[in-house]
Amino acid sequence: PLTARVFVNRVWGALMGGYLVDTPSDFGLQGAVPTHPELLDWLAADFMTHGWSLKHLVRTIVTSRTYQQSSAVREDMAAIDPTNTWYHRANAKRLSIEEIRDSVLALSGQLDRRLKGHPKPLWGPDYTHRRAIYGVVDRVNNDPTLRAFDFPSPTASADRRTENIVPQQSLFALNSPFIIGQAAALVESLQLSEGMSAEARTNALFQRVYRRDAHEVEVKRLEHFLALMEKRKTDPWPLVAQSLLISNELLYVD
């Protein structure tokens, strides 16, 4: 049925960074032809067979070899499949602003996981620590932070989000009281003691944010930064945490 195919296509696009039908709102004669019609039909049929379960659909996609590929460019396939239509690699995909916000709160230990309740501001002096889905969205005056990260206009239907890179995104990452505050909360939640070495503190931060230890070159760069900050007599660790929270490794799924 059309409904299942449309729904599956949108979920695929959200997870994979590319659609099986490149016109998610138009499956008619003027829409794009499916790139993988058999896959689309199989996913739709499997979706219906399992009671239209979104959880099952997402699990099916994310446990596939196709989803779990690296986004690294393969020279042997670049000429054959330059647009990655055949998914010979993953598509690097930036997190949405809601996903970025919720991830930062989760990493700092500040995310409020309660369900239900009234919407509250996502930013500002009295912002909610709950998931972004509980945030206030003004239909008339779209939040400038949301808008800077390609949040669609709430006054019209949007079948996909654009991915633009603009200066406002970097300014938010560097100067936002939200990011600065959560970086400090992240350091506090790790309880980094004075007796810990710089490398141990670094690895504690890297394990929390990236789920890996810092590479040797990263440790050396950090040691140089710590030496500079020691002269200024400023606590460097919130700044280190902030640099991890706004890095491409966290903001992109690749």
Alpha carbons 218 and 227: distance in angstroms, whole number: 14
- Rounded to a whole number of angstroms, the CA Rg of the chain reads 21
Tokens of 254: 């690749």
Report DSSP state, residue 22: S
User: What is the per-residue pLDDT for 13?
Assistant: 95
Considering only residues 141 and 168, tell me which one the structure prediction assigns the higher pLDDT. Answer: 168
The backbone torsions φ and ψ at residue 164, rounded to the nearest 5 degrees and listed phi first, read -105, 150
Handedness of CA 69, 74, 77, 79 (dihedral sign): positive
Given the DSSP bridges, would you call strands 252-253 and 93-94 parallel, antiparallel or unpaired?
A: antiparallel
User: Which of 63-67, 103-107, 153-157, 216-220 is predicted with the least confidence, judged by mean pLDDT?
Assistant: 153-157
Against a cut of 0.85, is the pTM above it?
A: yes
- Summarised one tens digit per residue, pLDDT across range 55-86 is 999 999 999 999 999 999 888 998 899 999 99
CB 241 within 8 A of CB 205: yes
Handedness of CA 159, 133, 60, 48 (dihedral sign): negative
DSSP 169-218: HHHHHHH-HHHHHHHHHHHHHHT--TTS-HHHHHHHHHHHHHSSPPPHHH
Length of the chain: 254
User: What is the per-residue pLDDT for 10?
Assistant: 96
- Answer yes or no: is pLDDT of 31 > 80: yes
- Identify the three-state secondary structure at position 13: helix
Q: Long-range contacts: 42-50, Cβ < 8 Å, 24+?
A: 43/8, 43/12, 44/1, 44/4, 44/5, 44/7, 44/8, 45/4, 47/4, 47/7, 47/8, 48/1, 48/4
- Answer yes or no: is pLDDT of 98 > 90: yes
Handedness of CA 48, 50, 55, 61 (dihedral sign): negative
- State the maximum Cα–Cα separation within the chain, in Å, rounded to a whole number: 68
